[in-house]
């Protein structure tokens, strides 16, 4: 008889064994080193292409594997999951798909979230209402205060790249009312944060960070009402029906989120994405989130003991894998000292160092990082 405990442990062991990043790597919010499984899949697909056989269908068949795997992890049905080239590109497509009304966005967001709305606004489509600035937490209260009669959508990151704050998507949904659309950039949380993604009308998540699949592809999931409300304006020949009937006619858009396809994506990117999502699914996001939360808390405790200011939220409900240390005025020096000690993190401005931990991070490194930072505290 199989023992679920043992099965879980075996799955987790296989998951851990697939990753080989350096001990001091604490930079998953920048990019997530891919697994051995991902590398092997990409190599296999490259070899398939190199053989020069009739591999086109097999190569582009990776798209379907991604859409199914992303659907399983996000809760969106596969027909509501489309693919695009990056988080930014997906947000541009969504932003240009909206005509009229205004969209509420935190000015302190990662700029991938502000430029699409600024550009669509300049083009005379939807307007943008920027609120706050660097460090503003997009709480339901901040959203509620920013809404106007004109607001047709709110666009927010599920986890903020700078503060590490995990947005309260259910709370935001509540204050938005039933008719406004919620656009969510999931790149800083998808795969490690156990979020109800179906609260979003639009979810965009690039593969290169916490999902650990590398660059060149993002999932773009859309509820049926979002498919209705966002025009497929920045879309292309693969987003329409009978795309291989080259008859010189404009074809109607595909029925679901796939209408946002512009062209074929690189099968090496989609193959990597499918494999990485499969690996996450093999252990489950709740298990990954549990370990990430324990690691984040352990790092916070080490920073506390070293007298280093912690600027990211401490509560599990408000955070994911990002831990931010405040080193006023000496962050660049401290960041260089970390690099000398083999610890990779991101320097943000004059005073902040952003660490990010994953389920494969080794906990010994937290004390090492705190020890390096202690003299700068």
Ligand X SMILES: Cc1ncc(COP(=O)(O)O)c(C=O)c1O
Minimum Å gap between C-beta 311 and ligand X is 17
Contact at 8 Å (CB) between 325 and 343? no
Question: Which letter, b or e, does each residue of 361-373 get, where b requires 16 or more Cβ atoms within 10 Å of its Cβ?
Answer: beeebbebbbebb
Q: Which token pair is 361?
A: 């991070």
Minimum Å gap between C-beta 110 and ligand X is 4
Minimum Å gap between C-beta 94 and ligand X is 13
Nearer Cβ to ligand X (188/238): 188
Nearer Cβ to ligand X (301/318): 318
Minimum Å gap between C-beta 371 and ligand X is 28
Minimum Å gap between C-beta 90 and ligand X is 8
Nearer Cβ to ligand X (63/185): 185
Contact at 8 Å (CB) between 85 and 63? no
Closest C-alpha among 128, 131, 112 to residue 120: 128
Contact at 8 Å (CB) between 349 and 341? no
Minimum Å gap between C-beta 361 and ligand X is 19
Residue 221 backbone dihedrals phi, psi, to 5 degrees:
-100, 140
Full DSSP string of 28-88: TTT--PPPHHHHHHHHHHHHHHHHTSS-HHHHHTHHHHHHHHHHHHH---GGGEEEES-HH
Nearer Cβ to ligand X (112/311): 112
Q: What is the Cα–Cα distance from 26 to 357, expressed in whole angstroms?
A: 5
Minimum Å gap between C-beta 187 and ligand X is 5
What letter does residue 320 receive in the DSSP assignment? S
Task: Let me know how long the chain is.
Answer: 377
Chain residues that interact with ligand X, rule: CB under 6 A: 86-88, 110, 112, 157, 161, 185, 187-188, 206, 218
Minimum Å gap between C-beta 208 and ligand X is 6
Q: Which token pair is 217?
A: 């592809």
Q: Which token pair is 223?
A: 């509820």
> Between the CA atoms of 274, 277, 283 and 287, what dihedral angle is there, to the nearest 10 degrees?
180
Q: What is the Cα–Cα distance from 109 to 231, expressed in whole angstroms?
A: 24
Closest C-alpha among 253, 256, 221 to residue 76: 221
């Amino acid at each position: 008889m199989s023992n679920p405990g043992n099965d879980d442990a075996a799955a987790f062991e296989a998951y851990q064994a697939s990753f080989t990043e350096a001990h001091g790597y604490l930079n998953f919010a920048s990019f997530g080193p891919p697994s051995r499984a991902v590398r092997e899949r990409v190599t296999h697909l490259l070899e398939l292409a190199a053989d020069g056989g009739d591999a086109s269908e097999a190569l582009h068949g990776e798209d379907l594997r991604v859409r199914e795997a992303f659907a399983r992890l996000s809760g969106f049905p596969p027909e509501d999951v489309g693919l695009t080239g990056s988080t930014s590109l997906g947000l541009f497509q969504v932003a240009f798909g909206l005509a009229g009304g205004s969209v509420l966005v935190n000015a302190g967001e990662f700029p991938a979230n502000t430029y699409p709305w600024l550009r669509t606004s300049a083009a005379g489509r939807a307007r943008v209402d920027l609120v706050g600035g660097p460090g503003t937490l997009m709480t339901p209260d901040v959203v509620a205060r920013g809404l106007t009669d004109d607001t047709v959508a709110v666009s927010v990151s599920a986890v903020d790249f700078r503060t590490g704050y995990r947005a309260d998507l259910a709370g935001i949904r509540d204050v938005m009312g039933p008719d406004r659309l919620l656009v969510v950039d999931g790149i800083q949380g998808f795969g490690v944060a156990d979020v109800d993604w179906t609260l979003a009308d639009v979810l965009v998540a690039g593969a290169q960070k916490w999902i650990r699949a590398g660059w060149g592809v993002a999932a773009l999931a859309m509820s049926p009402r979002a498919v209705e409300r966002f025009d497929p304006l920045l879309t292309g020949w693969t987003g329409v029906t009978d795309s291989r009937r080259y008859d010189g006619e404009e074809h109607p858009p595909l029925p679901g989120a796939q209408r946002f396809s512009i062209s074929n994506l690189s099968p090496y990117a989609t193959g990597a994405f499918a494999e990485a999502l499969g690996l996450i699914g093999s252990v489950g996001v709740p298990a990954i989130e549990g370990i990430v939360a324990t690691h984040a808390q352990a790092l916070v405790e080490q920073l506390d003991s070293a007298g280093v200011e912690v600027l990211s939220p401490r509560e599990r409900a408000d955070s994911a894998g990002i831990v931010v240390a405040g080193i006023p005025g000496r962050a660049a020096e401290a960041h260089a000292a970390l690099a000398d000690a083999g610890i990779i993190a991101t320097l943000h401005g004059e005073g902040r160092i952003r660490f990010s931990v994953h389920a494969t991070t080794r906990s010994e490194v937290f004390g090492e990082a705190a020890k390096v930072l202690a003299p700068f505290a």
